[in-house]
Structures are given as C-alpha cells and as structure tokens.
C-alpha cells in the first residue's frame, strides 16, 4: 500500500473515532426519544423540543409543573406553551341544613339559618333547593329571596301537594298551602347578577300566625356557577 493510501485510511479511521466519541457523549448527556413524530430530549431540569414540531401527543420527561393550589386543574393551551393550572368557573357548592329551624306564630319573613349563598358580580348561577318542612294547615308557608342590587332571579317552585308550579322572581313572595304532615318543596331558580357581588338569601315564614313551622335538617341546596 502506498504512503498516500495509508495516510488516507488513517485519517478516515481517526475521523470515525472522533464521530463515535462525540455521538456517545451527546447521547449519554442528553438522551433523546422520538414520540409521536417529535424529538424530545431530557437534559435534566430543562426540556428541549424541536422548534418546528408541536406538543400534540408529546410525552415530556424530566420537567415537573408546580403544585398549583387546591381545586385547580392542569391544562394545556396547545402549540408550544407550557401546561398551566386553572380554576374552572362551572363549580358547584352543596349546602345541608345543619339542624331543624323553627318559627312559632310569626308571619315576618326571616333569613334561613343555612341557605345564604355568596355570588360574584356579573355572573350566572343555578340554585336548586329542596326544603323538607312541616307547618300547621292553619299557618301555611311563604318564602322569598333577597339578592345583590340589580340582580335578577327567575324560576319555579314545585310543592308535593300541588300540581302547578310557583313562579319565582326577585320581587315576589310565594305562598304555599300546607298540611300538618312533613312535605317537600323544590325551588329551582336562575340568578343573574349585575355589577355588585353579594349574597342571595332564602327567607321564609308562616303565611298566617298559627302553631310552629319547622324546616328540617334534611333540607339541602346546590348552587352551580355556569357563567
């Protein structure tokens, strides 16, 4: 073999050795994987992803999102943005009546001890209340709501001994004919608040002053924010 050919062979072998060394160094320091058509490399605390690829279907390794706060959900906005924690608006709250609440020979509307609901400004809610109560037939039952300034309330009430629905608004007091037996009254309303936040409060009393009316602890309510 001539000196020229021998020199070229040595150079080629040397170059191959250099490339092999560089490749081993790269793949040991920054292992990469192909996932869903994407090149993903783990370099410790930092993720590197090819700029011409998207995050759709990718599995990231080595990076951990922060813990967020209670009640939040982890979501991705797609493209090349990092996942983030969000709080969903369409959340619900269930309230149970703690103990029986009674009212004796009294026709003045009073706040229910448990059914006060905090609402945000410029928002919409669905409020569903199940009242379990007993009231003398001579006393009957009535209820109403108070709400933040300029808020609107609309919905219906359905009583176990009535076939018709009670129309409920923010300015009406609804009267219910009762018997002395335990009865159930369901109230379903939409609350649409304006620029003022505050509380929506259920009020109730006897329609006529007689005996004792009791709203029982088995009563409950569910408030859902949907806008």
**Structure-block tokens of residue 14:** 């040397």
Q: Which residue has the tokens 């619900």?
A: 92
Residue whose C-alpha is closest to residue 115's, from 200, 13, 4, 209: 200
Residue 106 binned pLDDT confidence (cut-offs 50, 70, 90): very high
**Structure-block tokens of residue 41:** 């490399």
User: Domain map of the chain by residue range?
Assistant: 3-86, 92-225
97 has pLDDT over 80:
yes
How much is the average pLDDT of 145-159?
A: 93
CATH value of 92-225 in 3.90.1170, 3.40.50, 3.90.1200, 2.60.120: 2.60.120
Is the C-alpha dihedral spanning 195, 198, 200, 203 positive or negative? Answer: negative
Q: Considering just the CA atoms, what is the radius of gyration of the chain in Å? A: 34
**Are the C-beta atoms of 216 and 97 separated by less than 8 Å?**
yes
Residue whose C-alpha is closest to residue 144's, from 179, 110, 95: 110
pLDDT at residue 176, rounded to an integer? 85
41 has pLDDT over 60:
no
pLDDT at residue 92, rounded to an integer? 87
């Amino acid at each position: 073999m001539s000196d020229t050919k021998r020199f070229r062979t040595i150079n080629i072998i040397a170059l191959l050795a250099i490339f092999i060394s560089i490749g081993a160094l790269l793949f040991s320091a920054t292992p990469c994987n192909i996932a869903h058509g994407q090149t993903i490399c783990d370099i410790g605390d930092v993720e590197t992803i090819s700029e011409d690829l998207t995050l759709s279907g990718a599995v990231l390794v080595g990076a951990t999102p922060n813990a967020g706060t209670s009640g939040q959900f982890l979501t991705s906005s797609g493209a090349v943005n990092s996942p983030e924690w969000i709080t969903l608006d369409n959340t619900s709250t269930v309230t149970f009546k703690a103990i029986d609440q009674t009212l004796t020979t009294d026709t003045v509307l009073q706040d229910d001890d448990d059914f006060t609901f905090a609402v945000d400004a410029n928002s919409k809610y669905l409020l569903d209340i199940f009242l379990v109560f007993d009231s003398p037939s001579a006393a009957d039952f009535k209820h109403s709501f108070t709400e933040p300034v300029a808020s609107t309330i609309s919905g219906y009430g359905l009583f176990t001994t009535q076939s018709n629905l009670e129309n409920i608004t923010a300015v009406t007091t609804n009267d219910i004919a009762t018997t002395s037996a335990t009865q159930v009254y369901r109230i379903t309303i939409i609350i649409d608040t304006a620029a003022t936040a505050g509380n929506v409060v259920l009020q109730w009393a006897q329609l006529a002053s007689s005996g004792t009316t009791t709203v029982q602890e088995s009563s409950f309510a569910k408030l859902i924010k949907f806008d």
